[in-house]
Amino acid sequence: MSSTTPPSAPPPASHDHRIPVTILTGFLGAGKTTLLNHLLKQPQMAGAAVLINEFGEVGVDHHLVEQVDESVVLLDSGCICCSVQGDLVKALKGIFMRALRKEIPPVTRVLIETTGLADPVPVVHTVMEEPFIAERYRCDGVITAVDATHAITQLGDNREAVRQVAMADRLLITKCDLADTATLAEVAARIATLNPGAQQVEISHGSIDPDVVFGCGLYDPGAKSPDVAAWLGEERVRHQQARKAALAAPLAWRKSGQPIVAPTAPARHDANVTSYVLTFPEPLNWFAFSDALGLLLQVYGERVLRIKGLLNVAGDPLPRIVQCVQHSIYQPTSLPAWPDQPPYDDRKSRLVFIVRELPRTAVVELFYSIGGVEAEAEPSA
Ligand SMILES: Nc1nc2c(ncn2[C@@H]2O[C@H](COP(=O)(O)OP(=O)(O)OP(=O)(O)O)[C@@H](O)[C@H]2O)c(=O)[nH]1
């Protein structure tokens, strides 16, 4: 692990008794869950509550988190940056109230793992300004995982990736074992232009000292590029307008006879990015499947933002985990057992796709054309 810029001194938070919240973000496949699995083994995580958010209807991430107990909460009813008033606020209130009633041990910190497509602005806004939350929690930092091998493309193509970097207190450059020196230098320079004040740390396989992740000090938009304060300001105005509209609605409705619709959140995600699931009802021939996946990424890799899933491989009693980012396929691993909750309790193979302008039919056709694997329809997210 090496640091390429010196850390800035965190503002003192010793008199602040609110629960610190760390927001772990980073684009699709950047290594957030890998990092989380490393952190969960560290003593500094004792008393921490972890909130995991996923994009798409069929969740995979919470099965990939190695230590799942009551301190790990899955936010699965949508992307937190879109439904932030709902799920995230409810979860943070719930954690606080359950700890107060002594139903769970005291919570010393909260770590939120966002989806790879999350805009961190509304998440930071919620922690800093939602009244119930801001009185009990403080934003202790935004930590952004930046995939050394894909960052340049991801930052060029995705607004979310740029915001994730710009909002960060710490930039963790991941997958350094896979990147050469020239690529690392290019990534470091690119992210420094977006966020010159953030400490950059190079890591491999999620291995990091938790002290680098925690204790950033009270989140300070003023220490970042002027864009950050502007984005948070826009978010504040949007929330004030929504609140006003909600308060005004009954009166206006009585006057006009028509319901007033409160301003909705802006579209946070690129409409060309979609998610769907392929289900394979029968156990898979690993070699035929690997060939099909390899061909898929060769043909469509640029449009594949992320693939992850659990496979039932013929002859293997354990669910095999498959993970891809663009053209890259990672070393498959296995879970120690099949999950006993739906949908995986039926032991069918499922692959979750997050793609840009790649219709599901094209992917299904490709798997059919290779033979040996069969896809059945599931609703898209
Ligand atoms: N070689 C190598 N692989 C890594 C490293 N970090 C993550 N990976 C692999 O990259 C893939 C994606 O990592 P995840 O930790 O699931 O990424 P994520 O950011 O949680 O992904 P999403 O939640 O889908 O956005 C997995 O197969 C990891 O094993 C690393 O430092 N080196």
Listing DSSP states for 257-322 in one string gives SSPPPPPPPPP-S-TTEEEEEEEE-SPB-HHHHHHHHHHHHHHHGGGEEEEEEEE-BTT-SSPEEE
What is the CA(174)–ligand 1 centre distance, in A? 8
- Report the residue among 24, 115, 307, 330 best suited for mutation to probe ligand 1: largest number of ligand atoms under 8 A from its CB: 330
- Report the residue among 2, 23, 25, 34 best suited for mutation to probe ligand 1: largest number of ligand atoms under 8 A from its CB: 34
CA-nearest residue, atom 15 of ligand 1: 31
The residue length of the chain stands at 381
pLDDT of residue 108: 94
What span, in angstroms and rounded, lies between the C-alpha atoms of 145 and 27? 7
pLDDT of residue 85: 58
What is the CA(35)–ligand 1 centre distance, in A? 8
pLDDT of residue 246: 67
Domain borders along the chain are 2-231, 273-370
378, 348, 345: which is closest to 363 by C-alpha? 378
What is the CA(57)–ligand 1 centre distance, in A? 20
The separation between the first and the last C-alpha atoms of the chain, rounded to the nearest angstrom, is 38
CATH of domain 273-370: 3.30.1220.10
What is the CA(258)–ligand 1 centre distance, in A? 50
Residue 28 Cβ contacting ligand 1 at under 6 Å: yes
CA-nearest residue, atom 7 of ligand 1: 31
pLDDT of residue 233: 92
User: Would you say 132 and 94 are in contact if contact means Cβ atoms under 8 Å apart?
Assistant: no
pLDDT less than 70: residues of the chain: 1-14, 55-59, 61-62, 65-69, 76-85, 246, 249-268, 369-381
pLDDT in tens, 242-300: 777 767 766 655 555 544 444 455 566 777 899 988 988 889 999 999 999 999 999 99
Residue 20 Cβ contacting ligand 1 at under 6 Å: no
pLDDT in tens, 204-219: 999 999 999 998 888 9
Q: DSSP string covering 319-373, please? A: PEEEEEETTEEPPPEE-SS--SSTTGGG--EEEEEEEES--HHHHHHHHHHH-S-
| Nearest atom (ligand 1) to Cα of 27 | 25
Residue 53 Cβ contacting ligand 1 at under 6 Å: no
pLDDT of residue 373: 56
Query: Does CATH number 1.10.1060.10 belong to domain 2-231?
Result: no
Torsion angle defined by CA atoms of residues 320, 325, 330 and 333, in that order, rounded to the nearest 10 degrees: -20
User: Would you say 312 and 347 are in contact if contact means Cβ atoms under 8 Å apart?
Assistant: yes
Residue 175 Cβ contacting ligand 1 at under 6 Å: yes
Q: What is the ipTM of this complex?
A: 0.99
SS3 250: helix
pLDDT of residue 1: 43
pTM: 0.89
152, 70, 160, 64: which is closest to 115 by C-alpha? 160
User: Would you say 284 and 313 are in contact if contact means Cβ atoms under 8 Å apart?
Assistant: yes
